[in-house]
Amino acid sequence: MKKIALLILAVLLAFPVMAAAKMKISGQKKPEEVTEKDGVYTVAPQGKMRIQLYPAKGGVAVLPDMEVEISAEVSGSGNISLGCHIYNSKNQWKASAGSKLIRVDAEESETVKATIKINRADAASVRPWISVISGKVNIEELKLRIPGGLDAANLKIAPVIPGWQYGNMSRALKCAEDKGVLEIVTGRRQVVELMSSLQSAKDGDVFKFTGNVTGKGRLIIGLHLYNKSNAWQGTTWVQVPIANGKVDKLPAITVKTPAKKSAVAYIRGAIRVTPGSSVKLENIQLGK
């Protein structure tokens, strides 16, 4: 069986997408009502009080009126519901939203899902929960993801600038394309990195970023540097604020081999959308 886990979309870039999660438990009256072995929780309420489990730490960034998808791997027999706790920007609990009753009748693990609308104007993050109302249910996994966002599940298939790709740890609340315009919205702990294909380069070459950027927030634009063996040698970054709703001019960056590094032979363009940004990118190009 799998260990219970929380799919955390709003994590710092240094952390993995899937992280084992210790669960908080509410509604338990007797020790035998909830047992845990190898990360699998068996829940069997003995009274009228439902028993709820949710991650003790972590939170997924959201925007008001957004929909989130909660799924769980469960087995056994009983009635459950899925939902999420809603927190404001100060990580204060503000509300809870849940699904209708879901019936579980499965000897082997099955996936159950619910879509929850975040209907609070002060919503900033959420944590998923699962409540066992009656019966005896084994809970192997609990996940939360944002449909239409960017996460590990869709990095390879999400809309992207032609000829570019997303860095492995890119996460966003929204990633959508309409008539050639790529829209990216990041939560307060999310970053998206777009990377171009490799291009030949040498010291002194000047690479120019062109295109249209509108919205709010901040970009960090640069060049990843590689030697002739395609080994990474460092990155040159330029801060690009979005003033008055647009970027007037994207930067031109000169290639320079970092001190004590091998000579640069290739570059890869990089555009980072920083936390709390909402941008639209159109006709983005990189060339000498």
pLDDT digits (tens, 9 = 90+) for 8-34: 333 322 222 223 468 899 999 999 999
164-287 has which fold? Jelly Rolls (2.60.120)
Note the pLDDT of residue 14. Answer: 24
pLDDT of residue 22: 80
pLDDT at 266 over 60: yes
Task: State the pLDDT at residue 21.
Answer: 61
Tens digit of each residue's pLDDT (9 = 90 or more) over 37-91? 988 999 999 988 899 999 988 788 898 889 999 999 999 999 999 999 999 989 9
Yes or no: domain 5-145 corresponds to CATH 2.60.120.260: yes
- Per DSSP, the residues of 100-121 read --EEEEEEEEEEEEEEEE---T
Q: Which one-letter DSSP state was computed for residue 149? A: S
Cα-Cα-Cα-Cα dihedral sign, residues 157, 163, 169, 174: negative
Whether 5-145 and 164-287 share one fold: the answer is: yes
Q: Mean pLDDT lowest for which of 50-64, 124-138, 161-175, 207-221?
A: 50-64
Q: Which helix (H) or strand (E) holds 77?
A: strand 67-87
DSSP 86: E
Return the closest-CA partner of residue 23 out of 10, 11, 9, 34.
Answer: 34
The one-character DSSP state at 227 is -
CB neighbours of residue 30 within 10 Å: 10
Which range is most confident: 12-16, 139-143, 151-155?
139-143
Q: What are phi and psi of 255, to 5 degrees?
A: -75, 130
Q: How do residues 223-244 score in pLDDT, each as one tens digit? A: 999 999 999 999 999 999 999 9
- Vertex 277, ends 189 and 182: CA angle to 5°? 115
pLDDT of the residue at 47: 85
User: What are the sequence ranges of the domains in the chain?
Assistant: 5-145, 164-287
Average pLDDT over all residues of the chain: 90
CA gap 234, 116 in Å, rounded? 42
Residue 265 binned pLDDT confidence (cut-offs 50, 70, 90):
very high
CA distance 10 to 125: 9
Global pTM value:
0.74
